[in-house]
A and B are shown apart, each in its own frame.
Chain A
Amino acid sequence: SQQGEEDPQALSIQEGENATMNCSYKTSINNLQWYRQNSGRGLVHLILIRSNEREKHSGRLRVTLDTSKKSSSLLITASRAADTASYFCATDEAGGFKTIFGAGTRLFVKA
Chain B
Amino acid sequence: DTAVSQTPKYLVTQMGNDKSIKCEQNLGHDTMYWYKQDSKKFLKIMFSYNNKELIINETVPNRFSPKSPDKAHLNLHINSLELGDSAVYFCASSKYRDRGLETQYFGPGTRLLVL
Set of chain B residues within 8 Å of A35, measured between Cβ atoms: 104, 106
A92→B100 contact, CB < 8 A: yes
Q: Is B25 at the interface (CB under 8 A from chain A)?
A: no
Is chain A's binding surface mostly helix, strand, loop or mixed?
strand
- Select the residue from B44, B48, B103, B109 with max chain A CB neighbours within 10 A: B103
Set of chain A residues within 8 Å of B66, measured between Cβ atoms: none
A42→B99 contact, CB < 8 A: no
Q: Is A75 at the interface (CB under 8 A from chain B)?
A: no
Q: Would you give the 0/1 interface string for A13-50, flagging 1 where the beta carbon is closer than 8 Å to chain B?
A: 00000000000000001110101010011111100101
Q: A88-B43, A103-B42 are in contact. Are A50 and B109 (CB under 8 A)?
A: no
Set of chain A residues within 8 Å of B104, measured between Cβ atoms: 35, 43, 45, 90, 99
Give residues in A with beta carbon < 8 Å to B.
2, 29-31, 33, 35, 37, 40-45, 48, 50-51, 86, 88, 90, 92, 94-101, 103-104, 106
Closest 6 CB pairs of A and B: A30-B100, A42-B106, A101-B43, A43-B106, A92-B100, A45-B103
Give residues in B with beta carbon < 8 Å to A.
4, 35, 40-45, 48, 55-56, 90, 92, 97, 99-109
